[in-house]
Chains A and B, each alone.
Chain A
């Protein structure tokens, strides 16, 4: 039975991904505009040259049977070979593991996405890790010291951190860090450096990462702390915690054995959701610190109507959100025996 439920959940996840694949294709083609003109901002581009670009990227073929284009809607022949339409070429290529070639950078989308995704994962992964550890710790302390000055200061700090506009905090930290700590202002590496050793390279990337990581950690720390605190306060007011106290258990034992595991449940949800969206990167942080991540790549691709990049990136986002949710579902059954897979 347990396995059947598991298979069921995975099947639904796969179905959702298929739906996203179809949606992605049509979503971007509903936007007005012409990629053959948007990518190349030169009005002197002749009609022939524009047509050559369309042929090169297969944009001269009908989007799907009966539709030459969706916005503006233009009818086309309905009796063409469906396999020779943009939609089925796209789906066919996906099944072969090909995401296409970016209209703008002329590089394979998979290659661009892979590089950008690693950059983003490095930055956001470290920052999320720090934010979770510190946020949970701070939340536990605040809830345990409920009503004391420690609680109030932690609460005020978290509320402020959570409410700060990301780009504003980023700019302030950028000015502060570059002036007082001598940290680099933009990019991921110092351009044109010849590293003496791998360690020199790690240190260089680390110096570039410090400020964006700090910004991201502060912004997310507040959210984690607030949720952990309120969740733990709820649990601590339960009767069984009172019973534990009556049994003579000390604070540490009550927290560890009775309260924390239950209080972590809402945290798992919020962390899983955040991790899913993590791949989207933080466009604002990436912009402030000129970090070559995925968020920035998506932002640029929208402006350039770079369909293959958008399709690839959105598929990646959708898959990571779906997988993160699936993991959260499975983790729930482990943390809370009341939630059964069957």
Chain B
């Protein structure tokens, strides 16, 4: 219910009520209608949005006259704009800028879970041959369908190193698609696969994945195919190449080779799903406040729609998903959702390297009253913007 309300808006009935679906699509909606504390005053795409305070707002009227949300072409310019005082607050920055801003007397950094928690995931192509969608290619490497191989890869993934190098420490180790930012729905009792190259090697040795031809790369037990996987990532992820590089190192230590290639997001979509024409992809999801959507990503029903990237199919998981969708008792639903996370971590359709944190910053000499102690950080949210007032 909460997740449904999240994307439901109050609309004026006298404008929209009588419209047919087609008329609603064609309606240009030039004069914006809303019910929030700010009104849209000016909008220039990719330049800025200027908001005026709604003096007739039914709640507490913001103390500022308005707000301008300006777009910058790159994050370094954004940091510089905050330093020189061209802007009063920034919503994102490169992690490399954090140390410098921390030492600036006029600037306060705020770190916390993002309002819209994002997950970075390492996806395995698991689609079963009998589930291959009609327009799918389903060319995934057969060894990845073996849980032992995925477990070995999990043991050979150094999540702390990924956090330290890719996020410069600003993150927490990941478990499943449900991020810690989702509060009670996040199962914090699960035990992760420890980073241990020896365990990973032993798992592969025992399962018969041996390097028969001595080239440093293991072969499948039948000796036919080397454990060499295609590893792709979305070209618009700045973290993609670094994650891939670090994975290729530790995975290389257990005799697994990857062929790395970044692809632009649309090309990646076309190889990913529902085509399943890949081995491993590094990508990510944004989340609602409710876990229902991220949980649906691992259901069998979503394989043909392209929402399931892994092609994971498990009737037990599907059954739990159906149950949680109709469970009205919050505590019971949480139990179901926790169990689903335990299954997901056991079956490893994904390795989740980390959950990123949001870092934002504002100038202490301009405005005060920003919400900085909430569990989720979003200084640009109207809740914060309507509280701030100029520093006297």
Q: Which residue of A lies closest to B76 (CB)?
A: A171
Most buried by B among A32, A43, A44, A105: A43
Residues of A within 8 A of B71 (CB): 290
- A167–B293 Cα gap in the complex (Å)? 40
Contact across chains for B44 and A43 when beta carbons are under 8 A apart:
no
Within 160-210 of A, Cβ neighbours of B (below 8 Å) are at 171, 174-175, 178-179, 182, 184-188, 191-192
- A44–B72 Cα gap in the complex (Å)? 29
Contact A174-B80, Cβ < 8 Å, known A32-B267, A292-B46, A303-B265: yes
Most buried by A among B46, B77, B83: B77
Contact across chains for B305 and A52 when beta carbons are under 8 A apart:
no
Contact across chains for B74 and A32 when beta carbons are under 8 A apart:
no
Within 184-201 of B, Cβ neighbours of A (below 8 Å) are at none
B314 lies within 8 A of chain A by Cβ = no
Q: Identify whether the interface residues of B are mostly helix, strand, loop, or mixed.
A: mixed
Residues of A within 8 A of B264 (CB): 302-303
- A72–B267 Cα gap in the complex (Å)? 11
Q: Identify whether the interface residues of A are mostly helix, strand, loop, or mixed.
A: loop
Contact A290-B72, Cβ < 8 Å, known A33-B267, A52-B25, A305-B266: yes
Specify which of B45, B66, B68, B86 is in contact with A178 (CB 8 Å cutoff). Answer: B86
Most buried by B among A32, A52, A72: A32
A247 lies within 8 A of chain B by Cβ = no
Within 61-112 of B, Cβ neighbours of A (below 8 Å) are at 66, 68, 70-74, 76-77, 80-81, 83-84, 86
Contact A185-B25, Cβ < 8 Å, known A32-B267, A37-B269: no
B306 lies within 8 A of chain A by Cβ = yes
Within 273-326 of B, Cβ neighbours of A (below 8 Å) are at 293, 305-307
Residues of B within 8 A of A44 (CB): 293, 307
Distance in Å from the Cβ of A120 to the closest Cβ of chain B? 14
Q: Which residue of B lies closest to A56 (CB)?
A: B25
Q: Which residue of A lies closest to B82 (CB)?
A: A185
Contact across chains for A33 and B270 when beta carbons are under 8 A apart:
yes
Distance in Å from the Cβ of A184 to the closest Cβ of chain B? 6
Contact A188-B47, Cβ < 8 Å, known A179-B84, A288-B73, A289-B73: yes
A60 lies within 8 A of chain B by Cβ = no
B335 lies within 8 A of chain A by Cβ = no
Residues of B within 8 A of A188 (CB): 47
Specify which of B42, B50, B80 is in contact with A185 (CB 8 Å cutoff). Answer: B80
A62 lies within 8 A of chain B by Cβ = no
Residues of A within 8 A of B266 (CB): 31-34, 37-38, 303, 305
B56 lies within 8 A of chain A by Cβ = no
Specify which of A41, A186, A192 is in contact with B72 (CB 8 Å cutoff). Answer: A186
A300 lies within 8 A of chain B by Cβ = yes
Contact across chains for B73 and A178 when beta carbons are under 8 A apart:
no
Specify which of A34, A43, A174, A175 is in contact with B307 (CB 8 Å cutoff). Answer: A43
- A43–B270 Cα gap in the complex (Å)? 13
B48 lies within 8 A of chain A by Cβ = yes
Distance in Å from the Cβ of A90 to the closest Cβ of chain B? 20
Contact across chains for B269 and A38 when beta carbons are under 8 A apart:
yes
- A25–B57 Cα gap in the complex (Å)? 49
A286 lies within 8 A of chain B by Cβ = yes
B146 lies within 8 A of chain A by Cβ = no
- A175–B68 Cα gap in the complex (Å)? 23
Specify which of A47, A52, A184, A287 is in contact with B74 (CB 8 Å cutoff). Answer: A287
Contact across chains for A192 and B77 when beta carbons are under 8 A apart:
no
Residues of B within 8 A of A308 (CB): none
B327 lies within 8 A of chain A by Cβ = no
**Can you list 11 pairs linking A and B with CB atoms under 8 Å apart?**
A32-B271, A34-B269, A34-B270, A171-B76, A178-B80, A185-B86, A186-B81, A186-B86, A187-B72, A191-B48, A300-B46
Query: What 9 additional pairs, Cβ within 8 angstroms, besides A185-B84, A191-B68, A290-B72?
Result: A44-B307, A105-B45, A175-B80, A179-B80, A185-B81, A185-B86, A187-B70, A292-B47, A303-B265
Q: Which residues of A come within 8 Å of B, CB atoms?
A: 31-34, 37-38, 41, 43-44, 47, 52, 56, 72, 105, 171, 174-175, 178-179, 182, 184-188, 191-192, 286-292, 296, 300, 302-303, 305
Q: What are the nearest 9 A-B pairs in CB distance?
A: A33-B266, A290-B73, A191-B48, A38-B266, A32-B270, A287-B73, A185-B81, A186-B72, A43-B307
